[in-house]
Amino acid sequence: MEYFLTDEEKALKERVRKIAEEIILPVRDELDKNAEFPRTIIERMAKEGLLRIFIPKEYGGTGAKIMDMSIACEEVGRVCAGVATAYAVGALGSGPIIYFASEEQKKKYLPKIASGELYCAFGLTEAQAGSDVANIQTTARREGDYYILNGVKQFISNGSIADVYVVLASTDKARGARGISAFIVEKGMPGFDFGKHENKLGIRTSTTTELVFSDCKVPKENLMGKEGLGFIYTMRNFDRARPGVGAIGLGVAQGAYEAVLKFAAEKNLLGNQYIQRKIADMATEIEAARSLIYAAARSIDAGIKNTTKPASFAKLFPSDIAMKTTLDAIEIMGPYGLLREYNVEKMLRDAKITQIYEGTNQIQRGQIALEIIRETGYKKE
């Protein structure tokens, strides 16, 4: 379909696809097998300017456009969702700094994130606080010129790899969500260490690790914004990041669709009406997913005030389609779909996480429903 991409967006899409096929594809299976962080690939992407996509021009970036991020995530996700996740976490981690940090903090971190000198990550999830953000148990208490952090963050993408982390901690537990604050924590700060490295079903090349804070001393200057605003920062950051997650799922679906189409042609199955209908459904659903992502990205980039609903649309539907498309592809391919050489089984493993991270799809449905209720003016009972 024609999405009226600008010349710059078309060039970006072509450039990222070329990098994905020339650099990621040859090592994809090995990275997945060994659960190896794609450091060399991320460094190459940095040299190609792809980390600058996340960052505003005044800090060494190219504009921090969600549309550009979505295009890049889709093209990398089409080849490997694990590499796409490792890449996209840079946007998730830098987002709060871009939009909520002080000018001094922005100047200190953003140019180095743009150049690839610093990797960043986002420290939110805990054993008892995934979807329930308000239940964060990590605490931060003020002592003189420092905040002292204690707690454990779980399932943190780029954990132990990143140099800079935006970490959410409670500075006033009595206030619940309104007592959560955001801090910029650097690797090497006293009391900051890494715990368990997870051995995952999918996106295996994206490192997932615990962050452990034991009387971690964070300078008071590293508080982001004001105490108690961390929850708001997080929700707004997710609204901007979720189209990118949807785009990774879209990339997975596109990759599976292309793989099964090629398989069906090689096995002389394209004359089968059942196969034709499956392929038609895949193509239709993929285009619908792409439309939702691009529409959400355009809305965010245009400065639309409330983008929670379109952002949730852009995360929910494409990730569900990623799961459906990979399952349908394996159904068509039969036992061949289970073989590593066709890579569709990896796409299935990768697809599942897109329904879970950065807000489960059940959470997205709840968000969408609440926005609809608010817009219609009907009361919740």
Residue with tokens 């805990």: 126
**Nearest Cα to 3, choosing from 222, 293, 212?**
293
Beta strands of 207-296 (E only): which ranges?
A: 208-219, 223-224
Spatial distance between the Cα atoms of 237 and 100, rounded to a whole number of angstroms: 9
Whether the CB-CB separation of 165 and 123 falls below 8 Å is answered with: yes
Q: Please give the Cα distance from 350 to 327 (Å, whole number).
A: 12
Q: Which amino acid is at 40?
A: T
358 is catalytic: yes
Exposed/middle/buried for residue 6 (C-beta within 10 Å: 0-12, 13-18, 19+): exposed
Closest alpha carbon to 331 in 272, 290, 376: 272
Q: Which of 279-287's residues contact partners 24+ apart within 8 Å by CB, and which partners? A: 281/328, 282/253, 282/256, 282/257, 282/325, 282/328, 282/329, 283/257, 285/253, 285/321, 285/324, 285/325, 286/250, 286/253, 286/254, 286/257, 286/321, 286/325, 287/1
Q: Which of 358, 371, 375, 381 is catalytic?
A: 358
First to last CA, the chain: 42
Q: Find the farthest-apart pair of alpha carbons in the chain and give their distance in angstroms, rounded.
A: 74
Q: 214: helix, coil or strand?
A: strand
| DSSP string of 179-201, one letter each residue | GEEEEEEETT-TTEEEEEEP--S
| Cβ atoms of 91 and 245 closer than 8 Å | no
Which single residue is written with the structure tokens 């793989």?
259
Coil, strand or helix at 257 = helix
Q: What positions carry a catalytic annotation?
A: 358
